[in-house]
Amino acid sequence: MNYVTVDIPRVYPLTNEFLADILTIAAEGGIGYWTSYRTVRNADGYVTAIRDMTDAETGEAFPELGVMGVVAFNHLATAINRVLKQDPIITASAATRLLECVIANDACDLDAEDCDTLVQVALFGEVIYG
């Protein structure tokens, strides 16, 4: 039997808990090698403020990237959309894992590298480090 497939866009709502989990994973294990940060919680949800864009090992500053960037939930959701729509940003297996997590609205299968990628795309529009 032959099958025909269709590509139908579908909207998956993301909870604040899901997005907060991604920021937590990134902060605890993913972004520390290229920046220092702090995570705060405001009325709209968690926000990760990237305070010092310097190389964690050498202390080299990256003034071209600015002194401070902020990743809020809406930035992270935009990054997720962008990563899932652009194949070259992540591997196929990472894209599949991310999509499964989005569908389940559960970040438990994402690792630090996945979340680091999402934070970098949210901040810079692309992966710069790693």
In a domain, 66, yes or no: yes
* Domain membership of residue 53 as a residue range: 16-124
3-state secondary structure of 42: strand
Tell me which amino acid residue 96 is. T
DSSP code, position 64: G
In a domain, 40, yes or no: yes
Q: Predicted confidence band at 107 (pLDDT cuts at 50, 70, 90)? A: very high
In a domain, 8, yes or no: no
Contact between 31 and 56 (Cβ < 8 Å):
no
Kindly state the average pLDDT of the residues 103-114: 93
In a domain, 117, yes or no: yes
In a domain, 7, yes or no: no
Phi, psi (deg, nearest 5) at residue 105:
55, 45
- What pLDDT, on the 0 to 100 scale, is given for residue 18? 93
Q: Where are the beta strands (DSSP E) in the chain?
A: 36-42, 45-52, 69-72
Between 64 and 79, the higher pLDDT residue? 79
pLDDT over 90, % of the chain = 28
Q: Which residues contact residue 61 at a Cβ distance below 8 angstroms, ignoring those fewer than 6 apart?
A: 53, 54
Domain count, the chain: 1
In a domain, 27, yes or no: yes
pLDDT in tens, 11-66: 889 998 899 899 889 988 878 888 777 767 766 666 676 765 555 556 565 555 44
- Which pTM value belongs to this model? 0.78
- What pLDDT, on the 0 to 100 scale, is given for residue 102? 94
Q: Predicted confidence band at 109 (pLDDT cuts at 50, 70, 90)? A: very high
In a domain, 130, yes or no: no
